[in-house]
Structure 1
């Protein structure tokens, strides 16, 4: 099953750009997941298992590396990439 996810990250720190770009760089290491970014959010596309594994590992990595951050996600079945 294909999955599309839109995710926004809000670091609870004055230096917020580093944690955001670090998270996106981590997501881009997953060859089975397509990552598209814009100024408002990051979008992920791929097989359900691959996308969810990438999210799980990258969110955990982000918490361990940067501390408190807020993630806002939207999930929809299917490949909705533009």
Structure 2
């Protein structure tokens, strides 16, 4: 994954599971990776030091490396001339 494609506010999906998840709390904690499934979607909340992104999933907000994330392509509504 190219880091230039990821930016704050975009929707991303989990393309592979990391060995563990690190919470994005003020005092981060390690959690088992089975909290998230491949394909789960979240919103990038912020950029963190060390090459991490703060990503908010429905199960919580986690610090994720770019290699585990893929940008979700949004479908633009098609306009047809009738």
TM-score, with structure 2 as normaliser = 0.30
Richer in strand (by share): 2
User: Rg larger in 1 or in 2?
Assistant: 2
